[in-house]
Amino acid sequence: MHELSVAQLSLGLRQKQFSSLELTRSYLDRIRTLDGQYNSFVTVDEEGALAAAAVADARLAAGEAGPLLGIPLAHKDIFCTRGIRTSCGSRMLDNFVPPYDATVTARLRDAGTVMLGKTNMDEFAMGSSNESSFYGPVHNPWRLDCVPGGSSGGSAAAVAARLAPLATGTDTGGSIRQPAAFCGITGLKPTYGRVSRLGMVAFASSLDQGGPMARSAEDCALLLNAMAGFDPLDSTSSELPVEDYSAGLQQPLAGLRIGLPREYFGQGLDAATGERVHAALALLEQQGATLVDISLPHTGLSIPTYYIIAPAEASTNLSRFDGVRYGYRCAQPQDLRDLYTRSRQEGFGDEVKRRILVGTYALSAGYYDAYYKKAQQVRRLIRQDFLDAFGSVDVIAGPTTPGPAFALGAKGSDPLAMYLEDVYTLAVNLAGLPGMSVPAGMADGRPVGLQLIGQHFQEARLLNVGYQLQQVSDWHSQVPAGGEQ
Amino acid sequence: MTVKQDEIEKIAELARVRIAPEEAAEVTARIANILTLVDQLQAVDTDGVEPMANPLDAVQRLRADAVTEINQREAFQAIAPAVENGLYLVPKVIE
């Protein structure tokens, strides 16, 4: 059953070929047997999953037929789940059992999905390798000595290893697309404001966005259909109506203009990765798309801009963790200040503390104009690059990452080397655009991702291009060795 | 601009993040590297460019000034490290 697409699973459930309970048990068995080598889950909720599957089976028996009814999935451990620990990969929240659900988890539960558990991630979503998790690193199912990418590394590894057919992720600077690329799956970061941020532990509020991770664009569309939509409880949620993301998948690509930013194919791009991306683009060209040379001149500035804005917003958001109301509290505090400073010293890991300090510095008196305001101005220039380019192209494409998955520990000691991993993905968040990574073959036994970037709220177009690519390629259906069992 | 260790110690104080004395030099060096990276923005001409806080230039949505939340004090305090009589406990603040 673990080889079937979500649409096939849904059909099987409705035709009574198997029950949601049987499907859920089969995935729970796979997690129990196989996840020891990946560490992709931090919490497996067997009891809750079996109860939800029984409810789904009752709804199916009553004639309900929602496309996700009875389908198992995994949630990144950044989405609050009432009654189930939500750690955000941090010691700070190791004991945090939310009293409420994120809008995303509530919507997906209402749609009848069955949550198998919560997936591992970089601490507070800060990282590109999943090595900063309090619960230990995740291993890439394709190469156990390599990272799965991050921060949604557990979700990506779980989908790649066929431990869940679907997973949620979040993306602040590439955290859905980069692990999707490294693990050979499909992942979409929607337009800023498309998916509610309520109950999604905040990192950088003007950049954070939740999205679907799955094996194919078709499955991502089904998950996004249930995730997207206006939420009055998220002050930046978009009120634009949501379209049916499955409806336009089969639209032909004839006449589609795909922009290739020359800045994404220059120095720093691994040669084999570049070849795989060009091979995927050639398939789109064969389907009638036209490849157009474009320029996004401010691309190089996205790293410094991001590493001011994201830490500044993080330092503000993470000020809520004070050891008083919830989360970690140090033992025997001497006084109130000791309670705050030691709870935060002991509760946060190194990368999180570093970003809090950089952010506090950038926002401090005397530096605000030079750093934060300056970064917000350059952010507008970066977005303008894209708006100008979209005057002559429909979609922008390039590599998701500079190279394939790197070895565990290879970049752990150098934050700046890690930051360069996101050079092709950061600008998409800064501009608020939708971006997607789809599998584009292998380089040295490791998956390569093709990134597709769309205009604001044109997720459907990206899913259409990804779907059409997946009709003429089989990269997305390749399975890592452990996943074949 | 080069950041000095006493500046980082001051920032850590403001952020309520304690840095162990033996780690202060290394933390300062790493943050200095990050600040060097972001300093390349200073060379960009941004005269007349409006700062962008929201990628869709959206503004805060307003709602009717009406009570919409119910009191959930017990649920919230059930997950707190230390409470007593409905109050959050912290070390003594007033001598």
pLDDT digits (tens, 9 = 90+) for A251-304: 999 999 999 999 999 989 999 999 999 999 999 999 999 999 999 999 999 999
- For the residues A180-205, what does the mean pLDDT come to? 98
Report pLDDT for A29.
98
Asked if A151 is an active-site residue, the reply is yes
A chain contacts of residue B3, beta-carbon cutoff 8 Å? 361
Work out the number of other CB atoms within 10 angstroms of the CB of residue A308.
28
Does B73 lie at the interface with A, CB-CB under 8 angstroms?
Answer: no
Whether A477 is catalytic is: no
pLDDT confidence of residue A415: 79
Q: CB of A24 within 8 A of CB of A53?
A: yes
Q: Cα distance from A75 to chain B (closest Cα, Å)?
A: 22
- From chain B, the residues in CB contact with A379 under 8 A are 51-52, 55
- What is the C-alpha to C-alpha distance for residues A482 and A161, in angstroms, rounded to an integer? 7
Q: Which of A308, A326, A362 sits opposite B79 (nearest CB)?
A: A326
pLDDT at residue A484 tops 70: no
Per annotation, catalytic residue among A40, A76, A90, A133 = A76
Minimum mean pLDDT range among A4-18, A328-342, B51-65? B51-65
Q: What is the pLDDT of residues A443-481, one digit of tens each?
A: 999 999 999 999 999 999 999 999 999 999 999 999 998
Which residue numbers in chain B have pLDDT < 70? 1
Q: Are residues B8 and A305, on separate chains, in Cβ contact within 8 Å?
A: no
CA dihedral (A203, B19, A324, A336) positive or negative: negative
By C-alpha distance, the chain A residue nearest B23 is A350
Contact A456 B56 (CB under 8 A): yes
**Interface residue B32 vs chain A (CB under 8 A):** no
The answer to whether A267 and A360 have CB atoms below 8 angstroms apart is no
For residues A120 and A138, the answer to whether their CB atoms sit within 8 Å is yes
Residue A68 near residue A111 (C-beta atoms within 8 A):
yes
Alpha helices by DSSP H, listed for A35-121, are: 46-61, 103-110
Is the model's pLDDT at A351 over the cut of 90? Answer: yes
Maximum C-alpha span of chain A: 69
Distance from C-alpha of A44 to C-alpha of A416, rounded to nearest angstrom: 34
pLDDT value, residue B93: 83
pLDDT tops 80 at residue A395: yes
CA distance B4 to chain A (A): 12
Helices B24-38 and A350-363 pack at an angle, to 10 degrees, of 60
Quick one: average pLDDT of A383-400?
A: 98
Is B81 in Cβ contact with A323 (below 8 Å)?
yes
**B61, A235: Cβ pair inside 8 Å?**
yes
**Contact (CB, 8 A) for A472 and A221:** no
- pLDDT range class, residue A483, cuts 50, 70, 90: low
Tell whether the torsion through CA atoms of A119, A120, A126 and A127 is positive or negative: negative
A·B CB contacts under 8 A: 167
Residue A1 pLDDT level (bands cut at 50, 70, 90): confident
Q: For an interface test with B, which of A96, A196, A205, A380 has the most B Cβ atoms less than 10 Å from its Cβ?
A: A380
Q: Could you tell me if A373 and B48 are in contact, meaning their C-beta atoms sit under 8 angstroms apart?
A: no
Q: Tell me which residue in A329, A357, A371 faces B15 most closely, judged by beta carbons.
A: A357
Contact A253, A289 (CB under 8 A): yes
φ and ψ of B27, to 5 deg? -60, -45
Please give the pLDDT value at position A412: 73
* Residue of A175, A238, A315, A343 with catalytic role: A175
- Give the minimum alpha-carbon distance from B39 to chain A in angstroms, rounded to a whole number: 7
CB A312 within 8 A of CB A359: yes
Q: Is the minimum CB–CB distance between B44 and chain A shorter than 8 Å? A: yes
The answer to whether B51 faces chain A, any CB pair under 8 Å, is yes
| Mutate which: A345, A360, A453, vs B, most B CBs within 10 A | A360
**pLDDT, tens digit, 9 for 90 and up, residues A126-170:** 999 999 999 999 999 999 999 999 999 999 999 999 999 999 999
What's the rounded mean pLDDT across residues A28-45? 98
Average pLDDT along chain A: 96
> pLDDT per residue over A96-111, tens digit each?
999 999 999 999 999 9
- Angle separating helix axes A103-110 and A217-227, nearest 10 degrees: 110
* Token code pair at residue A70: 């009875």
Chain B residues whose beta carbon lies within 8 Å of the beta carbon of residue A236: 54, 58
Mutation for A interface: B2, B7, B34, most A CBs within 10 A: B34
The three-state secondary structure class of A290 is strand
* Whole-number pLDDT of residue B1: 56
Distance, in Å, from the CA atom of B51 to the CA atom of B58, rounded to the nearest integer, reads 13
Average pLDDT of A54-61? Answer: 98
Our answer to whether residue A175 is catalytic in this structure is yes
Given B37, B58, B80, which is nearest A326 (Cβ)?
B80
Q: What ipTM was estimated for this complex?
A: 0.95
Question: Which positions in chain B touch A358 (Cβ < 8 Å)?
Answer: 31, 34-35
**What confidence tens digit (pLDDT) does each residue in A226-258 have?**
999 999 999 999 999 999 999 999 999 999 999
* CB contact (8 A) between residue B44 and residue A344: no
Query: Strand locations in A342-424, DSSP E?
Result: 395-399
3-state SS, residue A132: coil
pLDDT given at position A414: 79
Q: Is the dihedral of CA A174, A176, A177, A180 positive or negative?
A: positive
**Selection from A421, A343, A310 nearest residue A90 by Cα:** A343
Measured in degrees and rounded to the nearest 5, phi and psi for residue A212 equal: -85, 145
**DSSP states along B9-29:** HHHHHHTT----GGGHHHHHH
Asked whether the beta carbons of residue B34 and residue A375 sit closer than 8 angstroms, the reply is no
CB contact under 8 A, B51 and A334: no
Q: Tell me what pLDDT residue A419 has.
A: 87
Phi, psi of B41 (to 5 degrees): -65, -25
pLDDT category of residue A482 using cuts at 50, 70 and 90:
low
A232 and B63: CB-CB below 8 Å?
A: yes
3-state secondary structure at position A222: helix
Q: What is the number of H-type helices and E-type strands within chain B?
A: 3, 2
